[in-house]
Amino acid sequence: MINLLLELSMNTYTTEGILASLGYSDPLDAARQQARMVLLGRLARYQAILHQFEVKRGCTLEELRQDYQVVGNEDFSADNDYLEWQWYADAAQTTQTQLEAILEYKTR
């Protein structure tokens, strides 16, 4: 706290002092919080896109997957949607796993 007061009176700032003034005594805590916020933003975007696919197709990814795997059923639009939808589902799962890892580290 004294370092922060000295920094403020001398108009010199350090990363540690700024982070401490924001409530982060440990720079790693600040980095984890920032990573958490980035991941939450990504997850929200992925979930919104997944919802758009469900509305557009009127089915779940699993239902579309069953149609995708039918031999002789050619629907290029559905195929493209399936591949993109699957990519976003995988990305959302990866992001969720990363969030859980960050939260787990914090509770150790």
Does residue 50 lie within any of the structural domains?
yes
In a domain, 62, yes or no: yes
Could you tell me if residue 32 is inside a domain?
yes
Is residue 70 domain-resident?
yes
Which pTM value belongs to this model? Answer: 0.75
Among 104, 89, 100, 101, CA closest to 46? 89
Residue 2 domain-assigned (yes or no) = no
Domain that holds residue 38: 28-107
> Residue 57 corresponds to which tokens in the numbers above?
């197709």
In a domain, 16, yes or no: no
Nearest partner of 68 among 52, 55, 86, 53, judged by Cα: 86
8 belongs to a structural domain: no
21 or 91, greater pLDDT:
91
Q: What does the CA dihedral 76, 53, 86, 102 come to, rounded to 10 degrees?
A: 160
Q: What is the pLDDT of residues 22-72, one digit of tens each?
A: 888 888 888 899 999 999 999 999 999 999 999 999 999 999 888 777 767
Classify residue 73: in a domain, yes or no: yes
Q: Which residue has the higher pLDDT, 75 or 22?
A: 22
* Overall domain count for the chain: 1
